[in-house]
Amino acid sequence: MVSSEDEIEPEIQTSAAQNLDRRRFSRDIRNLSPDEIDGLITGSDGRPFHVVHHLPEMKEEGIPYLMPGVPITCRVDNTEKYTTRSKVRVGTLYTVWLTHGQFHWTVKRKYKHFQELHRDLYKHRMMVHLLPIGRYAKERQQLRGMSEEMPSLHGTERTRRTSSKMKYLEEYLNGLLENRFCKNDHSMLEFLSVSALSFVTDLGPKGLEGPIFKRSGGHRIQGLNCIGHHQFCFRWSRRWLVVKDSFLMYMNRDNDNINFVLLFDPEFKVKVGRAYTDTKYGVCIENFTRSLVIKCSSYRQAQWWSHEINRLGETSDFIKVQRFEGFAPPREKTLTKWYVNGRGYFMDLADALEQAKEEIFITDWWLSPEVFLKRPATDDYWRLDQILKRKAEQGVKVCVLLYKEVELALGINSEHSKRTLMNMHPNIKVMRHPDHVSSVVFLWAHHEKMVAIDQTVAFVGGIDLAFGRWDDSQYRLTDLGLKETNTSITEEETKEDADTQTDANQENGVADGPQQTELNSEDLTGNTKLWLGKDYSNFIRKDWVQLDKPFEDNIDRTQVPRMPWRDLSAAIHGKAARDVARHFIQRWNFTKIFKNKYKDDFYPYLLPKSHSTADTLSFTVPGSKRAKVQVLRSADRWSTGTCENSILNAYIHTIENSEHFVYIENQFFISCADGKTVHNGIGDAIVNRILRAHREQKKYRVFVVIPLLPGFEGDISAGGGNAIQAILHFTYRTICRGELSILSRLSELEDQWTEYITVCGLRTHAQLSQSLVTELIYVHSKTLIADDRCYIIGSANINDRSMLGSRDSELAVFVEDEDRIPSIMGGEEYQAGPLTLALRKECFSVLVGATSDSSINIDDPVSDDFFFSVWNAAAKLNATIYDKVFRCLPCNDVHNMRELKERTCEERLCDKNPEQTTEELRAVRGLLVHFPLRFLCEENLLPPLGTKEGMAPVGLWT
């Protein structure tokens, strides 16, 4: 066994970024402590899930597969007749029913198998007696408890009768199973079809197990198979096959290393015979990613295995196509909780990570190891990398999947994130995907954001664990250090009114002495800043650079306001959390197979827990409520090995079936299919639903909130650059420009379209270093709320990239309230869902300023009073004030580049008359401003063909 000194380099103690060219850990630490060994053995109800991650160590330590102190009993009956190869002699097949604790299973054995077992046990016993080898010492001690004479299998007059023979075999086998030496012998374990995974409680029922020969190849992933198809191109290997209630896997019996995992999915099939396998007694097991061929010892065994695998698969939810053509069904009475903004999400996530006992799964588009989850930080205890290191040292397996970006196009530096985490502890494993050249995937990304803990609690949404994402409902533009004595941020602070919010922005924006641009990350004593180093960002002004120097400021915080970040996420528990974890496991195992560098044992295969134990929750997120939850995704063969676009289907279904309103908050709004450049039909569903409401003369509202500018670096006063203009082009094409746009297709309504749909952005203001400043709030949300009864929160933008499934990979949850509470809708009594109603009110109260003005009523979202006099009135008023004071961009008054240039030369009220500016800004109500539908309407915003943006495929922008 390799000592820890042989496999770990000493940790470099320095505050500077480490040299990450070399991986610090090359293998796992496999020397288990006595306490860890005891933890793997104990448990009368089954083995702990930790066993899954310590199979080779258990083999080396000689830990028995059967649970110590738990009796194993058998019953032999149900004889079957079979014809031998000679077609003359008829043999007998016995069914052996076995019980070990809560686990029950059957095996089928011939009489010769009992004879072989007896012979092997006798031979092993003689070797232990006769060979004075040290490794037999423990077994010699066990033999002292065994009678000198082993039970005999030689028949008597009594055993010649079949019924008596079954009884005798049963007594014989039970006698062997009462002896520790016999029941833990390798021959006995094979006879009983038992392995180290047989009695792991969280893997569900014992299932089917046994030795098989498996054929190499069969992968449905381009480039993973031998070019030839002749039988000489195949390689047969002896493996131990394990079939559970939602997957099967095979392992090397010599060292108990897992060699492959096949998850049940809608393509799951079992076929028997030479026609499907090109081999005698062959069984072919298929799913989306592989056609696995195994070889059995007889025709009867092949039929038995096929029958049992199908029987286990039939009980799985995952072999059926679920609602919205998704992979997971709706899970009723699921504990769930929503989050608006990153503050509450990061806080609950930090506490949940502390509760991890077995596994932590993380996948992000971008991950910053140095991001703080609780703020303001006065030490590094709640820094993400330190949390993960702490849990890894406690034995938790941390698996992280990162999007491997095209470095010339994106500066998120996933290589830095990977090396930083993996150099902390060997229990932290990080994989990046895709390899752009080998997979021929250049345009698409892994865009989902997810954390799963012990496959019991999961977090899904739009918030990456990255710089710039932490925010609260105050949406501060400045961070020169909090002046308050008590610097902790509590739940109550997020409920402060708008006046307090402005005051806090102003106090936090006044410099108090010289400001540091480089932070001592090792000593944060007395720190009052909320965003440290690169975390203070305004990426439209300047994108992130030098992420390997995370504690150096990216912009001058004394001169440049930060750009607030609005986003949503959700926590889920139980079976829905297992669905999220299963998606991660599918992606992880797929990546391990696909990339050669991850095929070694350092990167393990992951196993999904059984849904039969999902209701046992070791902890819950505070404030969670019960609802029906379905996990949705966008997935393709390049990203996950399967095909799905259930998020798009759920969006369209929800819009089409909504009765009163839909509220959409999204980073992008690119839709209205033309079959050429845009293909998703979300905009079309909105048009059709509005037209139906108009024809039926019923009230129906559509609220759309999107960012005022796309999230690309660029100077909007000079046009914003090609990337910003390209996204604006397709956004305007969706809303109001061209014959396919929503407003053009609502032409039969004439000016009445304003009664049905409103499109807004968000903006706020503050004082920074004695100057008044404004900035848009970047809407990064991916949320839909309908009728105060259901909502979707996830990572999917409203564009083709996120929705089609064949492009970016995404994850979302569809939550439907199962309970009802009294509310009001359209002036009438209404039964709303408590979770959805609370989410909608949380969103609306901040956006329209109801937190600072109790007279603003947000109870009825579709009433004329709210829609016109509150929502649209606030958006119009605020846009007018900001235009007057700051001459903001984008705006409706600028139709072309000439007018844009002229506007940038105009003197601003905030510069020439600060007192009047302050007075004007007092009238601002909430955060809403109307989206400027006429901005640059006379310009062609598509990138010029001669530019790199113009040469990129149109799908990059849509």
Q: Which of 783, 805, 808, 778 is nearest to 794 (CA)?
A: 783
Q: Residues 185, 454, 471, 817: which is the catalytic one?
A: 454
Ramachandran angles phi, psi of 880, nearest 5°: -65, -45
Q: Residue 138 catalytic? A: no
Complete DSSP assignment for 634-660: EE-TTTTSS-EEHHHHHHHHHHHH-SS
Say if CB 470 and CB 342 are below 8 A apart: yes
For 623: left if phi > 0, alpha if psi spans -120 to 50, otherwise beta; the answer is: left
Catalytic: which of 391, 782, 800, 817? 782
User: What region, left, alpha or beta, does residue 73 occupy, with left being phi > 0 and alpha being psi -120 to 50 degrees?
Assistant: beta
Tokens 């379905």 sit on residue: 630
782 among known catalytic residues: yes
Both structure tokens of 922: 């007092």
Helix then strand then coil, in percent of the chain rounded to 5, is 35, 20, 45
Q: Residue 460 burial (CB < 10 Å; 0-12/13-18/19+)?
A: buried
Helix (H, G, I), strand (E, B) or coil at 500: helix
DSSP character string of 360-411: EEEEESS--TT-BSSSS-SSSTTBHHHHHHHHHHTT-EEEEEEE---TTT--
Task: Considering the candidates 464, 787, 808, 817, report the single residue annotated as catalytic.
Answer: 787
- The encoded tokens of residue 640 equal 């996950």
Between CA 568 and CA 856 the distance in angstroms is 24
Q: Which of 53, 214, 447, 628 is catalytic?
A: 447
Distance from C-alpha of 657 to C-alpha of 267, rounded to nearest angstrom: 30
256 is catalytic: no
Which one of 416, 628, 780, 930 is the catalytic residue? 780
Contact (CB, 8 A) for 447 and 403: yes
Look up residue 546 and give its two tokens: 């030098």
- Cα Rg of the chain, angstroms: 32
DSSP 211: E
Angle at 332 between CA 327 and CA 334, to 5 degrees: 95
* Residue 468: strand, helix, or coil: coil
Query: Does the annotation count 320 as an active-site position?
Result: no
CA distances, 114 to each of 65, 256, 949 (Å): 21, 25, 73
Question: Are residues 612 and 245 in contact, defined by beta-carbon separation less than 8 angstroms?
Answer: yes
Nearest to 587 by CA among 420, 326, 809, 268: 809
Nearest to 893 by CA among 941, 930, 853: 930
Q: Say which of 449, 660, 699, 765 is annotated catalytic.
A: 449
Length of the chain: 958
- Cβ neighbours of residue 767 closer than 8 Å, sequence gap 6 or more: 478, 505, 506, 509, 510, 773
Residue 307 catalytic?
Answer: no
Burial class (CB in 10 A: 0-12, 13-18, 19+), 729: buried
609 an active-site residue? Answer: no
Give the residue numbers marked as catalytic. Answer: 447, 449, 454, 780, 782, 787
